[in-house]
Amino acid sequence: MSAIKPANPLEMVAYVLSRQIQDHMIVYVGTGLPMVAAILARKTHAPNITLVYESGGQDPIPGDMPWSVGDPFTWRKSPIIQEMAYSFAQSYNGYVDIAFLGFAQIDMYGNINTHMIGDDFLKPKARLTGSGGNNDLSSLTERMILVGLQSPEKFVKKVDFITSVGHLKGGNSRQEAGLLGQGPVAVVTNAGVYDFEPAGKRMRVKSLHAGVSFELAQLATGFELLKPEGDIPVTEAPSVEVLEILRNEVDPRGVFISFPPK
């Protein structure tokens, strides 16, 4: 029996996200779990990645967990700090390999909402943050990974506001709308990992975390999930070594990986 507690759902998300990063990639990083994942990747299988942040910092030397994407840790002894317009232009010009985005709502095509909940934009049930860099990265970046907790309120038939386009209406509608990159290539949640079926671009189960059945994942989803061919794989869980790095070195105070969340 292992002496270490198995990964909690947030640690699982951070680990799966980190596995999307390959060594030597340029990674555009947002606040929260994406930061945790990028730092974990750098401390494990991808030590030579370059991190880029929207307040302009890039390639900082390692330090503590940033409090914000404007934190000094995002530009700690950076050789160059870019203006905001230039920072996003790096993604347009092909100098970003992968980016991670969070959401309040997501639909079956990976379109996401961080604007508002409700059906009246001028008098919403709840107004949320708005885009920030979310739309910019989803419009421009070659490979997008979407990350969030899974529930029927978040995984909806129709998002209340399209902040950022994923695969729009499926097929090649993203490309026809003039957007760049492959769009979302994966969705990572506390229940599983999803990709998008190549022709129609609808969300499809890629793997489910240990203990999660397809029926359970479907129950947590407000639209019909596609099944992969054959048996659904179980998501690979982090090794004891990786969990120890995550808990002791990446987020030792559990700011982002405590469960339930702090």
Partner 1 sequence: MYNYNREALANLRIDDTSVLDRLVDFASARKAHLEKDHSKRDKRMTLTEAIKQFVQDGDICTDAGFAYVRTPHQAYFEIIRQGRKNLQFIGSPNTNHSYMINFGVCRYSHNSYVGAEMRGTDRNYSRNLKEGKVTILSEWSHGSMAQGFKAAQLGFPSVFSKQLLGSDIVRYNPYVQVMQNPGRKDNDPVVFIPALYPDVTIIHVHAADRFGNARVYGPTVNDAALAAAARKVIITAEEIVPEIDMRYNNKGVIIPFMYVDAVVEMPFGAVPGNMPGLYYWSRQWWEKFLRFATLSDENLNEFMQYWVFDCKDQFDFVDKLGGSKWIASARRLTRTAEYDNEDIGFDYSYDEYRPGHNSGIYY
Provide the annotated active-site residues.
Answer: 54
What strands lie across the sheet with 26-28, from one edge to the other? 50-52, 26-28, 98-102, 143-147, 184-188, 192-196, 203-208
Between CA 177 and CA 168 the distance in angstroms is 8
The two structure tokens encoding residue 71 = 């934190």
Cis peptide before 62 (omega within 30 of 0): no
* CA distance linking residue 158 with residue 113, whole number of Å: 10
Nearest to partner 1 of 54, 97 (CB atom): 54
Residue 83 binding partner 1, by CB under 8 A: yes
List 1, 2, 79, 122, residue binding partner 1 (CB under 8 A): 122
Q: Does 11 bind partner 1 (CB under 8 A)?
A: no
Q: Rule CB under 8 A: is residue 5 a binding residue for partner 1?
A: no
Instruction: Answer yes or no whether residue 31 interacts with partner 1 by CB under 8 A.
Output: yes
Distance CA 249, CA 29 (A): 19
Asked if 10 touches partner 1 (CB under 8 A), the answer is: no
**Is 148 an interacting residue with respect to partner 1 (CB under 8 A)?**
no
57 binds partner 1 (CB under 8 A): yes
Q: Binding-site residue total for partner 1 (CB under 8 A)?
A: 60
Amino acid letter for position 155: F
Residue with Cβ nearer partner 1 (44 or 163): 163
Q: Is 139 in the site for partner 1 (CB under 8 A)?
A: yes
Task: Take residue 147 and report the two structure tokens written for it.
Answer: 């990350």
Task: Calculate the CA 69 to chain-centre distance.
Answer: 15
Are the CB atoms for 145 and 15 separated by under 8 Å?
no
The residues of the shown chain that bind partner 1, judged by CB under 8 A, are 31-32, 54-57, 61, 63-64, 67-73, 75-77, 81, 83-85, 88, 92, 115, 121-124, 126-136, 139-140, 161-165, 168, 173-174, 176-180, 253, 255-256, 262
